[in-house]
Amino acid sequence: MVVALTLAMGAGTVESASAQPSGQRSLTTPRVINGGPGNSTDYPYLVSLLLGDRIPNPGPFQAQFCGGTLTTPTTVVTAAHCVVDQNNGVIRNPGSFYVGFGSDLKAPDYRIVGITNVSVNPDYSRRASSNDVAVLTLAQPVTDIPTLPPLSPAEAGGYTATGQPVRVVGWGNTSTTGNSFPAVFQVGDLAVFPDSVCGGGEAFIWNGLTFRGFSPAEANPASMLCAGGVTPDSRRIDSCQGDSGGPLVGGSGPAARLVGIVSWGNDCANEFPGVYTRVAAEYDFIKAAGAVPDSAPRVAPTIVVQPQSGAARISFVAAIDGSEPTAFAATVLDPATGQAVNCFAQPRKDGAPAVCIASGLTNGTSYQVTAIAGNGFGNSPPTAPYGFVPQAVPTPGRITKSTQLGGGKVQFRVTSSRPNGSPILTQRIICNPVAGRGARTSAITGKDVTVRRMAATSYTCVVRARNALGFADSLPFPVKVAK
C-alpha cells in the first residue's frame, strides 16, 4: 500500500506531519517541476492554503502548504491529506488555516479569507491515499473570482481518456535536488495516462520517455488517475511538494473542468507519473458538500433524431456548460397543423445519451423537432428545429431481460418486431460500450439471443430491425458486464 505524506510547506520550509510505515517506500506529495510561471487571469480559481500562525510573520510565502480550487463562491476543493493529520486522523481546525487568492504569494495586497468548516470524504484512507478529497467552506463568499466546476461522471469520458491534455498548477517545489519554491505559481502541461499505468503495473511511453506503472497494491484507478508530461527537450513535467490539493485542469474556457486533485507520487519528475484524485469518482461527495455550482443549463443539448414508423427516436447529449441537467424534453411539431407531441428523458448515470420516443406521428408527414435541457434552476435555450419525415420502417422489439453466462457471453430476452407492411430483412442486437470502441452484435433468430466476446465494461444495447425503407432502434437497455 502507499501513503501520501502531508508536507506543510512554504517557499523554503518543509514540515513533515506523517510517519512512514515500516517496509514502505518513501512517497511525496507533488509539485510542478519543469513547468512555467502562471498567470492569475488564466487560473483565477487556484487558491493557496495558509498556516494561520505564519501569516503575520513571515507572511503568505512561508505560510503556504497546499493548494485548492474555488468551485463555488463559498467552497474550495482540496486534498484530504492536506487537512488530516496523517498520524492520528484528526481533521485540521478550520480556524488554524486560511485560503489565499492571487498568483504571487509575496504580493503586499495578497487576499486572505477564513474558513468555517472542513468536510473530508468519509471514505478517505490515509494508508491507501484513496478518496483523497476535502471541501472547505469559506467564512465569506468570494463573488468576484471565476470558479472551476468539478468534472461530473457524465462528462468524464471526454476529459479522462488516455492522452487527453490536462494542466497542473501550484506553488510547489520546482527542484528535484533541493528546495526551490516559487512566489508565483507554476503551470505544467500533462497528459492523462491509461488506467493500466495507475494500478495495473504497466509501463507507458509518452513523447519518447517511458513511465513506470503503479501496481494494484499502490494505486486504484477507481478513485485515482495518473498523468505526466514531457518537455520538448525530454525533461519530465510533474507536480511535487506544495502542489498537493491543487487542481488538475482539463478543457479550456467555459468547458474547463476540475479533473483531478494533486494527491501523491513516488518522488518527483522521475520514472513514475503523478497520481491525482479522480474528481468524477468523488462527485457525489463534492456535490453533497455543496461544492458543485448550481445553475440552469445555458446551452441547448445536442440531439440525434431517428425517424421511425409513426414515431421518432430522439437521443440527447447535454452541453458542457457547467450545469447539471436533470431532464430533457423534445417537442415534435407538425408545421401544417400546429399540432405537437412531446417526449421526455432523464440523464443516464452511465453517461450514455438519454433517449425518448415521440409516438402518434403520421408516416410521410414533415415534422420539426426542438429540444431543451432543464433542472431545478431553469431550462436551456431550445435547439434549432430539425426536420424529419417518419417512414414505415419496422417497429423494433425490445430487450426485456439480460442474463450473464460468463466468459464474456450475455443472453438477452427480446420481444418480436413489427414489419409495418414491408418484410423485415434483418434483426440484430447491437451493444455499444458506453466508453470506447468495440461494439458487439448478434443476429436475432428467436426470443433468446446470446452476444459473445463482451468485455468487462458497461454497454448500451438495442434491438435494430431493418426493411427496404431503412432501420429503427429500440430504447436502450443498459448492461454492465462483470469480469
| Full domain range(s) for residue 434 | 399-480
Q: What is the pLDDT of residue 250?
A: 94
User: Is residue 296 a part of any domain in this protein?
Assistant: no
User: Are residue 328 and residue 282 in the same domain, yes or no?
Assistant: no
Q: What is the pLDDT of residue 177?
A: 63
User: Is residue 227 a part of any domain in this protein?
Assistant: yes
Quick: pLDDT tens for 342-390: 999 999 988 889 999 999 999 999 999 999 999 888 899 999 999 999 9
User: Is residue 217 a part of any domain in this protein?
Assistant: yes
User: Is residue 62 a part of any domain in this protein?
Assistant: yes
Domain count, the chain: 3
User: Are residue 381 and residue 406 in the same domain, yes or no?
Assistant: no
CA distances from 193 to 164, 168, 280, 364 (A): 8, 14, 16, 50
- Catalytic-residue membership of 196: no
CATH number for the domain spanning 384: value is: 2.60.40.10
Calculate the dihedral angle through the C-alpha atoms of 332, 335, 340, 346, rounding to the nearest 10 degrees: 20
Which of 18, 119, 132, 238 is labelled catalytic? 132
Last residue of a domain, one of 388, 417, 445: 388
pLDDT over 90, % of the chain: 68
pLDDT band at 142 (very low <50, low <70, confident <90, very high): very high
Got the DSSP string for 322-345?
S----EEEEEEE-TTT--EEEEEE
Which of 18, 48, 81, 323 is labelled catalytic? 81
Q: What is the pLDDT of residue 32?
A: 57
pLDDT over 70, % of the chain: 91
Got the DSSP string for 97-128?
EEEEESSBTT-TT-EEE-EEEEEE-TT--TTT
User: Are residue 320 and residue 453 in the same domain, yes or no?
Assistant: no
Decide if pLDDT at 270 tops 50. Answer: yes
Report yes or no: 426 and 417 within 8 Å, Cβ to Cβ: no
Q: What is the pLDDT of residue 39?
A: 56
Which of 152, 244, 263, 402 is labelled catalytic? 244
User: Are residue 356 and residue 413 in the same domain, yes or no?
Assistant: no
Q: Which helix (H) or strand (E) holds 401?
A: strand 399-406
- Catalytic-residue membership of 244: yes
For residue 93, give the DSSP letter.
Answer: P
Decide if pLDDT at 436 tops 80. Answer: no
User: Is residue 328 a part of any domain in this protein?
Assistant: yes
Residue 461: how many other CB atoms lie within 10 Å: 24
User: Are residue 84 and residue 119 in the same domain, yes or no?
Assistant: yes
- Catalytic-residue membership of 81: yes
User: Are residue 449 and residue 379 in the same domain, yes or no?
Assistant: no
Structure-block grid coordinates of residue 414: 427480446
User: Is residue 1 a part of any domain in this protein?
Assistant: no
Last residue of a domain, one of 258, 288, 318: 288
User: Are residue 172 and residue 317 in the same domain, yes or no?
Assistant: no
User: Are residue 96 and residue 242 in the same domain, yes or no?
Assistant: yes
Report yes or no: 30 and 243 within 8 Å, Cβ to Cβ: yes
CA 212 – CA 226 distance, rounded (Å): 11
User: Are residue 339 and residue 426 in the same domain, yes or no?
Assistant: no
User: Are residue 348 and residue 224 in the same domain, yes or no?
Assistant: no
User: Are residue 368 and residue 417 in the same domain, yes or no?
Assistant: no
